[in-house]
Amino acid sequence: MAHTNHRILLADRPSGIPGPEHFQADGEPARAPGPGEILVATRYISIDPAMRSWIGAGPSYVRQVGIGEPMRAGGIAQVLESRATGFAPGDWVQGRTGWQSHPTLRGDQAQKLDLSIGSVEDWAGPLGTSALTAYFGLRDVGSLRPGDTLLISGAAGGVGQVAAQIGQIEACRVIGIAGGSEKCQYLRDTLRLDAVIDYKAEPDLQAAIHRTCPEGVDVYFDNVGGETLDAALTALRLGARVVSCGRISQAGVTEPYGVRNLGTLGGKRVRMQGFLVFDYHDRYPEARAWLAHHVRAGRLRQRLHIVEGLENAPRALAMLFNGGNNGKLVIGLEVQV
């Protein structure tokens, strides 16, 4: 059967929050795979905050997506045709699908999913890159220890909710910061965190952190940066670790927030460290084995927020920056095989 590869291309560089006006849809006949390639049908596409830096005019840690190119993205897909060793039609893979329904990928840039450790949905959720980010951020960068008080911003998001559950598994006291009553209710009643702070309803975030962490914070897992980081810095204990995972509050701002409370790092002997999950690529199997074990045991879940339809990817991307997503944000496509 001949397939059309539906694509969403970058049409313009956003200076603010990206939206549909910065993208353009097109379709072309799917390309038959050449030697070493596979033709796939995309099922899920991950939508990530970092995408904003890949398409904006500012600096990015990877090459900017070019105008007229399909938007870059990681996805999960089913193999339709294969001329690459190790892949057969019907196999499920993850790879750089981009915002495309039927891309042709290089076999050496795709990875076959091991469905013995989790379902296709698990690979999009608790075994996906957001979960790996939480795993390495807490265990390696944060040196999390049993009994620690762990404070997490962006706690209801893709990375944050897994970080919270890793903290619970590691017998920590876990406090989540999130925006809005629905997200906070999920963290409190479903994930059963020890305490939750709704920063949108809280007149004094710093006071709320001190109130919920009266003995101080051992590990602050920061997804947000800015004022939230500043408030958390005032509550750190001696020898605390700050995991700088992301700073979504500062994405695209013209005047970055000036953090005032860094003076606490010296006296409290705090270690503050950034990281990129990709640096741990060689250890993904170790992390996935650990995560899969706890998924099977019912201790770890990842709430997926699925926006159906490739055409809705630009609208979905904007949701990350206005808090519209409830959990790990993915685009769902009907697999046409």
Ligand X SMILES: NC(=O)c1ccc[n+]([C@@H]2O[C@H](COP(=O)([O-])OP(=O)(O)OC[C@H]3O[C@@H](n4cnc5c(N)ncnc54)[C@H](OP(=O)(O)O)[C@@H]3O)[C@@H](O)[C@H]2O)c1
Q: Which of 88, 276, 289, 337 binds ligand X (CB under 6 A)?
A: 276
According to the binding rule CB under 6 A, does residue 158 interact with ligand X? yes
In whole angstroms, what separates CA 320 from the centre of its chain?
Answer: 10
Element (H, E) at 19: none
- Site string (59-98) toward ligand X, x via CB under 6 A: ----------------------------------------
- With contacts defined by CB under 6 A, name the span among 107-115, 282-290, 292-300, 320-328 that binds ligand X: 320-328
In angstroms, rounded to a whole number, what is the distance separating the alpha carbons of residues 332 and 308? 5
Question: Please, what is the minimum distance in Å from the beta carbon of residue 267 to ligand X?
Answer: 27
DSSP string, 89-106: TT-EEEE---SBSS-EEE
Angle between helices 205-212 and 226-233 (to 10 degrees): 40
- Site string (227-256) toward ligand X, x via CB under 6 A: ------------------xx-xx-------
Question: Please, what is the minimum distance in Å from the beta carbon of residue 35 to ligand X?
Answer: 33
Question: Please, what is the minimum distance in Å from the beta carbon of residue 16 to ligand X?
Answer: 13
DSSP SS3 for 280 = helix
According to the binding rule CB under 6 A, does residue 151 interact with ligand X? no
According to the binding rule CB under 6 A, does residue 277 interact with ligand X? yes
Bridge partners, 325 (sequence order): none
Neighbours of 54 (CB within 10 A): 18
Q: Which of 94, 104, 223, 302 binds ligand X (CB under 6 A)?
A: 223
Residue type, 86: G
The answer to whether the beta carbons of residues 161 and 191 sit under 8 Å apart is yes
According to the binding rule CB under 6 A, does residue 48 interact with ligand X? yes
In angstroms, rounded to a whole number, what is the distance separating the alpha carbons of residues 226 and 292? 33
Q: Shortest CA distance to 171 belongs to which of 194, 196, 141?
A: 194
According to the binding rule CB under 6 A, does residue 50 interact with ligand X? yes
- With contacts defined by CB under 6 A, name the span among 4-12, 19-27, 46-54, 205-213 that binds ligand X: 46-54
Of 101 and 133, which has the nearer Cβ to ligand X? 133
According to the binding rule CB under 6 A, does residue 323 interact with ligand X? yes
The answer to whether the beta carbons of residues 291 and 135 sit under 8 Å apart is yes
| Residues at the interface with ligand X (CB under 6 A) | 48-50, 130, 133, 154, 156-160, 178-180, 183, 223-224, 245-246, 248-249, 275-277, 320-321, 323, 325, 329
